[in-house]
């Protein structure tokens, strides 16, 4: 079978796990009316996608059994309305606050989040911290790629899918916040935007260069 489970079974399996928390392949197979072997194949495909995970559970004689559950990415597969909430909040802020106050609030949010990033990155060498930031961004829903800068001085962080793209389209100031966020995360570096999706480019890209001169 390919990397993806068949669509109806795939979506039904994810929905059942969402509702039931944890369960076995056998229990899922019974609910879907398919064989346990077929269910295990579907679950392994979903596991390859990072949507489900398993842990061994006590079982009687015979083949060991696993308990299956959604991963964080699996939960994110279901719309949660947060984008609409964020847009509504920004609409309200824009209607009631002076523009400079709104910018100040977003900047402070970037500073606060950068502080959280710095705690997670710790005091590792700069190259390791940059690589870890790319991984943190992936966990947040960005499709992030990290490459050495063409001249060998620093790195280019490219994001081909932005988890706040819809919000940024209406409020480009959010992109300024993202740039400030990365600058605050690496105060010992120069950070500049080199690509921008809102200008029709293929990705948003930031160049991170050691040294703040």
Q: What is the pLDDT of residues 32-91, one digit of tens each?
A: 888 999 999 999 999 999 999 998 876 555 556 789 998 888 887 776 666 777 788 888
For the chain, the domains span 7-76, 93-210
Fold matches, 7-76 and 93-210: no
CB 110 within 8 A of CB 180: yes
Identify the band that residue 20 occupies on the pLDDT scale cut at 50, 70 and 90.
confident
- Mean pLDDT (whole number) for 160-185: 83
- Mean pLDDT (whole number) for 166-185: 86
Asked if the model's pLDDT at residue 155 lies above 60, the reply is yes
- Mean pLDDT (whole number) for 84-106: 85
* Residue 179, Cβ density class (10 Å: 0-12 exposed, 13-18 middle, ≥19 buried): middle
β-pairing, 22-24 vs 143-148, is: unpaired
> Considering the domain 7-76 in this protein, what is its CATH number?
1.10.10.10
Asked if the model's pLDDT at residue 134 lies above 70, the reply is yes
Cα-only R_g, the chain: 22
The pLDDT value given to residue 154: 94
Token pair belonging to 72: 């964080």
Q: Is the pTM of this model over 0.85?
A: no
- Mean pLDDT (whole number) for 144-151: 90
Question: Would you call 193 helix, strand, or coil by DSSP?
Answer: strand
Domain 93-210 maps to which CATH number in 4.10.490.10, 3.90.1170.50, 1.10.3720.10, 3.30.1380.20?
3.30.1380.20
The pLDDT value given to residue 3: 38
């Amino acid at each position: 079978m390919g990397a993806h489970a068949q669509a109806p079974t795939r979506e039904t399996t994810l929905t059942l796990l969402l509702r039931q928390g944890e369960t076995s392949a056998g229990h899922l197979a019974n609910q879907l009316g398919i064989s346990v072997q077929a269910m295990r194949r579907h679950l392994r495909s979903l596991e390859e996608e990072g949507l489900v995970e398993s842990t061994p559970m006590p079982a009687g004689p015979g083949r060991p059994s696993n308990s299956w559950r959604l991963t964080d990415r699996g939960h994110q597969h279901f719309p949660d309305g947060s984008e609409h909430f964020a847009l509504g909040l920004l609409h309200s802020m824009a209607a009631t606050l002076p523009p400079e106050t709104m910018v100040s609030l977003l900047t402070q949010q970037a500073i606060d989040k950068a502080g959280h990033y710095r705690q997670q990155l710790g005091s590792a060498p700069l190259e390791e911290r940059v690589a870890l930031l790319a991984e943190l961004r992936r966990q947040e829903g960005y499709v992030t790629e990290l490459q050495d800068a063409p001249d060998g001085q620093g790195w280019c962080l490219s994001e081909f899918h932005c988890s706040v793209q819809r919000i940024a389209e209406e409020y480009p100031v959010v992109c300024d916040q993202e740039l400030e966020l990365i600058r605050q995360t690496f105060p010992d570096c120069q950070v500049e935007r080199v690509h921008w999706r809102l200008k029709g480019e293929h990705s948003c890209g930031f160049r991170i260069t050691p040294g703040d001169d």
